[in-house]
Amino acid sequence: MKILTAADIIRYDLNTLFTNAMRFLEEDLHRWEEFKKSPRHATHYPHGVFELMPCADEKYYAYKYVNAHPANPDMGKLSIVALGMLADIETGYPQLVADMTLLTAIRTAATSALAAKHLALKDSSVLGLIGTGAQSEFQAHALRHAFPITTIRFFDRDKKAMEKFARNLSGRGISLIACENGDEVVHGADIVTTCICEKARVELFGYKSVKDNEHLFVNAIGGDCPGKTELDPEVMRNSRIVVEFYEQTRHEGEIQNLEGKVACDELWEIVQGKKEGRTETDRIIVFDSVGFALADFSMLRMLHESGIGREMKVVPEPEDPKDLYSLFTGTREC
Ligand SMILES: NC(=O)c1ccc[n+]([C@@H]2O[C@H](COP(=O)([O-])OP(=O)(O)OC[C@H]3O[C@@H](n4cnc5c(N)ncnc54)[C@H](O)[C@@H]3O)[C@@H](O)[C@H]2O)c1
**What separation in Å is there between the alpha carbon of 116 and the centre of ligand 1?**
19
Structure letter (DSSP) for residue 177: E
Atom of ligand 1 nearest to the CA of 161: 39
**168 within 8 A of 185, measured Cβ to Cβ:** no
Domain with CATH 3.40.50.720 in the chain: 112-291
**What separation in Å is there between the alpha carbon of 328 and the centre of ligand 1?**
48
Does the beta carbon of 25 lie inside 6 Å of ligand 1? no
Query: For the domain 112-291, what is the CATH code?
Result: 3.40.50.720
pLDDT of the residue at 331: 65
Domain with CATH 3.30.1780.10 in the chain: 2-102+294-315
The residue to mutate among 77, 196, 288, 296, having the most atoms of ligand 1 within 8 angstroms of its beta carbon, is 196
Full-model pTM: 0.96
202-206, 251-255, 310-314: range with lowest mean pLDDT: 310-314
- Report the pLDDT averaged over residues 284-297: 98
Q: Are strands 41-45 and 94-99 parallel, antiparallel or unpaired?
A: unpaired
**What separation in Å is there between the alpha carbon of 92 and the centre of ligand 1?**
35
Confidence class for position 332, pLDDT limits 50, 70, 90: low
- Report the pLDDT averaged over residues 256-267: 97
**What separation in Å is there between the alpha carbon of 144 and the centre of ligand 1?**
20
Q: Long-range contact list for 31-35, CB < 8 A, 24+ apart? A: 31/57, 32/268, 32/272, 32/294, 34/58, 35/294, 35/297
CA distance linking residue 56 with residue 104, whole number of Å: 18
Digit-coded pLDDT (tens) for 218-242: 999 999 999 999 999 999 999 999 9
Does the beta carbon of 266 lie inside 6 Å of ligand 1? no
Digit-coded pLDDT (tens) for 141-179: 999 989 999 999 999 999 999 999 999 999 999 999 999
- Report the pLDDT averaged over residues 99-112: 97
**309 within 8 A of 291, measured Cβ to Cβ:** no
Does the beta carbon of 48 lie inside 6 Å of ligand 1? no
**What separation in Å is there between the alpha carbon of 186 and the centre of ligand 1?**
17
Helix axes 293-306, 14-30, angle to 10 degrees: 120
Confidence class for position 86, pLDDT limits 50, 70, 90: very high
The class of domain 2-102+294-315 in CATH terms is alpha beta
Does the beta carbon of 291 lie inside 6 Å of ligand 1? yes
Does the beta carbon of 224 lie inside 6 Å of ligand 1? yes
Query: What is the DSSP secondary-structure string of 193-205?
Result: EE----SSB--SS
From atom 32 of ligand 1, which residue's Cα is the shortest distance away?
Answer: 157
pLDDT of the residue at 155: 98
CA atoms within 13 A on the CB side of 218: 35
Atom of ligand 1 nearest to the CA of 202: 31
CA distance linking residue 149 with residue 85, whole number of Å: 35
Q: Which residue type occupies 157?
A: R
From atom 37 of ligand 1, which residue's Cα is the shortest distance away?
Answer: 158
Does the beta carbon of 139 lie inside 6 Å of ligand 1? no
The residue to mutate among 80, 230, 252, having the most atoms of ligand 1 within 8 angstroms of its beta carbon, is 80
**What separation in Å is there between the alpha carbon of 88 and the centre of ligand 1?**
34
Give the closest residue to 192 by CA, choosing from 289, 260, 51. Answer: 289
**Reduced to 3 states, what is the DSSP secondary structure of residue 162?**
helix
Does the beta carbon of 222 lie inside 6 Å of ligand 1? yes
Does the beta carbon of 290 lie inside 6 Å of ligand 1? yes
Atom of ligand 1 nearest to the CA of 223: 41
Catalytic residues: 224
Confidence class for position 308, pLDDT limits 50, 70, 90: confident
